[in-house]
Amino acid sequence: MSLKIYNSLTNKVEDFVPVIPNKVRMYHCGPTVYGFASIGNFKSFIFADLIRRFLEFKGFEVTQVMNITDVGHLTDDGDDGDDKLEVAAKKEKKHPLEIAKFYTDAFNKDWDTLRMLHPNFQPKATETVDEIIELIKVLLEKGHAYESNGNIYFDVKSFSDYGKLSGNSLEKLTKNRVEIDANKKNPNDFVLWFGNSKFENHILKWNSPWGEGYPGWHMECSAMCAKFLTPAFENGKLNPELFETIDIHTGGEDNKFPHHECEIAQSEGAFEKQYVKYWMHPAFLQIEGGKMSKSKGNVYYVFELIKEGFSWRAIRYLLISAHYRQSLNFTKEGLRAAQNSLDRIDEMLRKLNNIRNDAPYDEQVSLVVNEMLVVVEREMDNDLNVSGAFGAMFESVKAVNIGLQKETIGENQAQEIINKFFELDSIFGFLPKEILDEEELEPEIVDLLEQRVKARAQKDWTTSDALRDKLKEKGILVKDTSSGQEWSKA
């Protein structure tokens, strides 16, 4: 079965066929680094990581770009408000780039905590200003943009397909959607370049053919997409004819309008080609059944959840457990349930790893486990149906546990099963091989375990039972099997 994904552009589930066979170019809208990224932000980021992992599992060569917005993202979806970095800088009495570096580092630390694959490129808007200016020049030349009182605006009426992603046609859009700006030809036009007539006290400014200023948020992503995923830029100069359609563009559903809609307009206006083939938008995250809000005090951060004792694996598991187009209710009880699910897998893997006997091959277990990867891939091919994939995974856990209880699994088969489960880690990212790392025990515990082995060898059941109870008091559970004594932490 080939991969099928829901395309937000067509509102249909479609066969995934990359522009270049076996190669995938994908772009994800990254964070605006004026504060810590919340767990809601990471739902969108981890979705992009899941797509990439599954594409690579299927053999595609993936090039992933995720930007860092460190200038130009305003506090309103329209063109009013202030730059979020500038607001944070004033509040913390620091330079905007100092703020950006601090929160970029914090973001990447959380990213690594969740074991997400690093994008091939992580460009910053402030490092792509030359390319942004080049792209604006092309839009001016082609009549899609105009200068007015020091600012450069995109003329939405010049692009007949404006609204094709979100369904917000110009007829539907109200004049209250954005700030009434007397410099605009149309209230829905958006800023490509802020000049001296707008936010004169902005700290970050660059020279341009239109005077000092800074780029608009929408323009940043178009330029970075073209620069890092296509050959459109040669030695800093833009050749629109060399632009190539991007395969996948993702971002939270709140980015759909106006951000992604504006990206399409300015990119297709400049390049005169389809900008992106497949648009994918994961749904919002709910917190404890409601909207995440600082005023409600229910904004969760990765590093804080880790400090509370939740594992990175439980966070990752929970964030991908629901279908990406369904809203996920993120709760601490849900995190505990996620950890319990992981513990079931871990306990099974450790038991398998401790098997040292030569029991006959359990054909029934082998059949279920071998089918697991087939079913997981089939479910993920169905628009990334993670719940179906998880179902196949736990059917295998159930079958293996039955085999463990019957003691019908030998050492060789056990290692084969372990390897099958670790193959799943390449997709889900929460089954690292460290699960089987030997846990260091206190010398006293090691001594008690050894004493118990000797007691059982001598058939001293009274001493054996007493040692078992003593170990339990110290948090160690022991179980006797045909292959010997097994232990686990309570």
Give the architecture (CATH level 2) of 17-282: 3-Layer(aba) Sandwich (3.40)
Domains 17-282 and 286-436 share a fold: no
The answer to which of 158-172, 202-216, 248-262, 467-481 has the lowest mean pLDDT is: 467-481
Largest CA distance in the chain: 94
Q: Distances in Å between the alpha carbon of 63 and those of 3, 21, 56, 140, 159?
A: 18, 13, 10, 30, 29
Residues 6+ apart with CB under 8 A from 462: none
Residues 6+ apart with CB under 8 A from 306: 113, 312, 315
pLDDT confidence of residue 379: 98
pLDDT confidence of residue 77: 44
What letter does residue 20 receive in the DSSP assignment? Answer: B
**pLDDT confidence band for 359 (50 / 70 / 90):** confident
**pLDDT confidence band for 73 (50 / 70 / 90):** low
Asked if residue 258 has a cis previous peptide bond (ω within 30° of 0), the answer is yes
What span, in angstroms and rounded, lies between the C-alpha atoms of 340 and 323? 20
**pLDDT confidence band for 308 (50 / 70 / 90):** very high
pLDDT confidence of residue 76: 47
What residue spans define the domains of the chain?
17-282, 286-436, 443-489
Residues 6+ apart with CB under 8 A from 392: 371, 372, 375, 376, 379
Over the range 47-57, which residues count as b (16 or more CB within 10 Å of their CB) and which as e?
bbbbbbbbbbb
pLDDT confidence of residue 75: 46
Give the architecture (CATH level 2) of 286-436: Orthogonal Bundle (1.10)
| The pair of three-digit structure tokens given for residue 111, joined into one six-digit string | 């990213």
Inform me whether the pLDDT recorded for 279 exceeds 70: yes
